[in-house]
Amino acid sequence: MPKSLEERSEKLLSRCEAMCLLCSKASTYWSVVKFCFQIPLVLTSSAMLIINSVSEDANVVKVPNIVVNAISVLLMSLNNTVKAGEKCELFHRLGQQFLVLSGQIENDVEVTENDFNIIAVKYENLINECLFEEIPSRYKIAVTESYKDRHVPLQLNGSVSTKKRPSCKGDVVLSTSNNVVTPSSNLV
């Protein structure tokens, strides 16, 4: 296998492993959010059952029924807006698919250029499906830090900064016309 192909395979393997970890963390997060929406719904349903079974007069429980129903509807509306269950399933599925890609790269004794291109396209398709904006920053930072000596996807490397950026003072800056501008005193 040519050296450049081997290096590209290692980079892609590292990125797949990082995404597998990130998707696993995101799936766990959205699973907890989903659980947090389901528990109050169970409690409100149980409360309605108890309220309705205790009273013999329907007019006495009319107001408590309205309040409990309103709370249930509010919780269901919030759950449908947040779509925690869908996000949990999406990140779980993506994590599994990144794991399969990692296995394909690791288990192939000799990866040809064509095999690599197919795996790279699969990777790009999975990256495009991933909703990075729905993953809490703490998980992005944790994955970036745990893979600091390895390659991570650009979406993590470019969007999550864990280090202070150096100031532009005295640096060479490229202008829009691609001409190099020398440092000047008005750069701050």
- Domains of the chain: which residue ranges? 3-162
Q: Based on C-alpha coordinates, what's the Rg of the chain?
A: 26
Tokens of 88: 């949990």
The span from the first CA to the last CA of the chain, in angstroms, equals 48
Task: Provide the 3-class DSSP secondary structure of residue 143.
Answer: helix
Residues 6+ apart with CB under 8 A from 2: none
**pLDDT for position 3:** 60
Burial class (CB in 10 A: 0-12, 13-18, 19+), 31: middle
Overall residue count recorded for the chain in this entry: 188
Beta strands at 180-181 and 173-174: parallel, antiparallel or unpaired: antiparallel
Other beta carbons within 10 angstroms of residue 43's beta carbon come to 14
Give per-residue pLDDT as tens, 79-116. Answer: 889 999 999 999 999 999 999 999 998 887 677 889 89
Fill in the DSSP letter of residue 130: -
**pLDDT for position 158:** 62
Other beta carbons within 10 angstroms of residue 97's beta carbon come to 19
C-alpha span between 22 and 127 (Å, rounded): 12
Whole-number mean pLDDT of the chain? 82
Fill in the DSSP letter of residue 164: P
Query: Shortest CA distance to 53 belongs to which of 66, 65, 42?
Result: 65
Fill in the DSSP letter of residue 180: E
Residue 186 has pLDDT above 60, yes or no: no
Residue 175 has pLDDT above 60, yes or no: no
Residue 120 has pLDDT above 90, yes or no: yes
**pLDDT for position 168:** 38
SS (H, E, C) 45-89: HHHHHHHHHHCCCCCCCHHHHHHHHHHHHHHHHHHHHHCHHHHHH
Query: Shortest CA distance to 16 belongs to which of 86, 90, 92, 106?
Result: 106
Give per-residue pLDDT as tens, 24-81. Answer: 999 999 999 999 999 998 998 888 888 888 878 878 888 888 888 899 999 999 988 9
State percent of the chain over pLDDT 70: 81
**pLDDT for position 169:** 41
State percent of the chain over pLDDT 90: 48
